[in-house]
C-alpha cells in the first residue's frame, strides 16, 4: 500500500533536468500575497484609518531601476476597506522600514521623527569633520567627556546597589520605627507646651501672679450637681419585690427560733431574785389569742414542771377552740 504523503518521488534513469523548459515571466509581473500593514495610515480618499497589523490580500511587484546596494525594492498594492481605493507602499532597505507612496498618508510617530533627526545631525557632523580637523578634535574630546560621565554614573549606581544589598532589612525597619516614635514624642511635647502657655495666659495676670478662685461660703451638695442618670446609678431604687424578699427572710428567721413552732411567746418581768417571778405566757393562733400568767418559784422545780404542763394545756384548749 502506498504512503498517504509521498516524500520520495521516482525519477527515471534517463531524467535530464536541463531538458525542462523554463517558464518565461515579465519583469513587472505581479504576485498575490497575504500581508499585514507595516504601519498605521489614513486613506486620502475617504479618511478611513487603517491600523498597524491589519491583514490584506495584496499584489507584490519589483520596482524597476531602484536598488540599494544590489538589494531589490518591492512595491505592494492594497485596497481601502471602506472605499476600495488603491493604496501603494514600498520597502526602504536603507532605514529598514516602509515608505508610503500613493493613496494614503502615514500617521505621525514621534520616535521615528527623533531617529530621523538624529541621523541627519550625525551626517552634518561628519561633513563638518571632513573639512575641519580642529572641529573633529573638539567633537572627539566632547564625546570622550560624555563617555567618562556615563561611566562615573554607572560606577555610582553599582556602589549604591552593593551598599543596599548589605543593609539589614530588620535594622532598617527598627530605625524607621524609632524615628516615628521620636517624632510622635516631639509632637506631644509641643502640644503640652502650647497647653501650658494657654493655661498660663488664662490663669495669670499681667504681673505674672497666678489667679486663684475664691471659695464660696455655701458650697452646693455633690448630689445636687449630679444629673438624674448619675443619681440613679449612685442611689439604687428598692422595689416592692425587694421588700417582699426581706419580709420573707425575716419570717424564716422567726420560724427557726425555739418555741416559735408552737406559737408561744414568753415574757419575763424583772423582779428581785429572792421572790418568785411571775411569767406571763401568751399563746397565739391565727383566730384568737389566750394569755396565762404563772408565778414561778425559782427554788421549786416541781412548780416549774406544773406550770409548763398548764402552759401546754392552755395551748391545747386554744387550738381546740379554733377547730
List the grid coordinates of 152. 562615573
Q: Looking at the chain, how many residues does it have?
A: 323
Q: Is 80 annotated as contributing to ligand binding?
A: yes
| pLDDT tens digits for range 97-107 | 999 999 999 99
Q: Which three cell numbers stand for residue 43?
A: 486613506
Residue 297 CB coordination number (10 Å): 13
| Ordered DSSP codes for 142-198 | HHHHHHHHHHHHHHHHHHHHHHHHHS-HHHHHHHHHHHHHHHHHHHHHHHHHHHHHH
Compute CA distances 248 → 152, 232, 255, 268, whole Å: 100, 26, 11, 28
The answer to whether 46 is annotated as binding is yes
Angle 133-166/110-131 helices, nearest 10 degrees? Answer: 130
Nearest CA to 54 out of 72, 34, 73, 30 is that of 34
Instruction: Please list the pLDDT of the chain residue by residue as tens digits (323 residues).
Output: 566 777 888 889 999 999 888 888 777 788 999 999 999 999 999 999 999 999 999 999 999 888 999 999 999 999 999 999 999 999 999 888 999 999 999 998 888 888 878 888 888 888 888 888 888 888 889 989 999 999 999 999 999 988 888 877 788 888 889 999 999 999 999 999 888 888 877 776 656 666 555 555 556 666 666 667 666 665 555 454 555 555 666 666 655 555 444 444 444 444 444 444 444 444 444 444 444 444 544 554 555 556 566 666 655 555 455 44
Please tell me the distance from the alpha carbon of residue 275 to that of residue 280, in angstroms, as a whole number.
Answer: 16
Please name the helix (run of DSSP H) or strand (run of DSSP E) that holds residue 290, with its range, or none: strand 289-296
CA 88 to chain centre: 57
- Give residue-wise pLDDT tens across range 162-189: 888 887 778 888 888 999 999 999 999 9
Mapping DSSP to helix (H, G, I), strand (E, B) and coil, where does residue 222 land? Answer: helix
140: nearest Cα among 129, 124, 149? 129
DSSP 258: T
The residues spanned by each domain of the chain are 31-107, 109-186
- The x, y and z cell numbers of residue 40, run together, are 498605521
Amino acid at each position: 500500500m502506498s504512503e498517504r504523503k509521498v516524500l520520495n518521488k521516482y525519477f527515471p534513469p534517463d531524467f535530464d533536468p536541463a531538458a525542462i523548459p523554463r517558464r518565461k515571466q515579465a519583469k513587472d509581473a505581479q504576485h498575490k500575497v497575504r500581508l499585514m500593514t507595516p504601519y498605521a495610515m489614513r486613506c486620502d480618499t475617504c479618511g478611513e484609518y487603517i491600523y498597524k497589523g491589519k491583514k490584506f490580500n495584496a499584489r507584490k511587484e519589483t520596482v524597476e531601476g531602484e536598488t540599494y546596494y544590489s538589494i531589490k525594492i518591492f512595491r505592494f498594492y492594497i485596497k481601502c476597506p471602506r472605499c476600495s481605493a488603491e493604496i501603494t507602499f514600498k520597502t526602504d532597505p536603507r532605514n529598514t522600514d516602509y515608505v508610503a507612496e500613493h493613496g494614503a498618508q502615514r500617521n505621525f510617530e514621534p520616535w521615528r521623527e527623533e531617529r530621523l533627526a538624529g541621523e541627519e545631525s550625525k551626517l552634518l557632523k561628519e561633513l563638518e569633520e571632513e573639512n575641519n580637523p580642529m572641529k573633529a578634535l573638539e567633537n572627539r574630546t566632547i564625546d570622550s567627556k560624555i563617555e567618562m560621565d556615563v561611566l562615573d554614573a554607572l560606577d555610582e549606581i553599582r556602589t549604591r546597589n552593593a551598599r543596599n544589598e548589605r543593609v539589614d532589612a530588620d535594622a532598617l525597619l527598627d530605625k524607621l520605627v524609632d524615628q516615628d516614635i521620636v517624632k510622635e514624642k516631639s509632637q506631644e511635647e509641643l502640644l503640652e507646651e502650647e497647653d501650658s502657655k494657654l493655661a498660663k495666659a488664662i490663669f495669670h495676670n499681667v504681673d505674672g501672679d497666678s489667679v486663684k478662685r475664691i471659695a464660696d461660703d455655701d458650697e452646693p451638695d455633690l448630689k445636687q450637681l449630679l444629673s438624674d442618670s448619675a443619681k440613679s446609678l449612685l442611689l439604687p431604687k428598692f422595689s416592692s419585690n425587694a421588700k417582699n424578699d426581706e419580709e420573707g427572710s425575716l419570717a424564716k428567721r422567726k420560724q427557726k427560733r425555739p418555741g416559735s413552732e408552737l406559737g408561744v411567746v414568753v415574757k419575763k418581768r424583772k423582779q428581785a431574785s429572792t421572790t418568785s417571778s411571775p411569767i406571763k405566757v401568751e399563746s397565739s393562733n391565727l383566730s384568737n389569742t389566750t394569755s396565762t400568767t404563772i408565778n414561778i418559784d425559782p427554788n421549786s422545780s416541781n412548780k416549774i414542771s406544773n406550770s409548763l404542763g398548764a402552759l401546754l394545756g392552755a395551748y391545747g384548749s386554744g387550738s381546740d377552740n379554733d377547730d
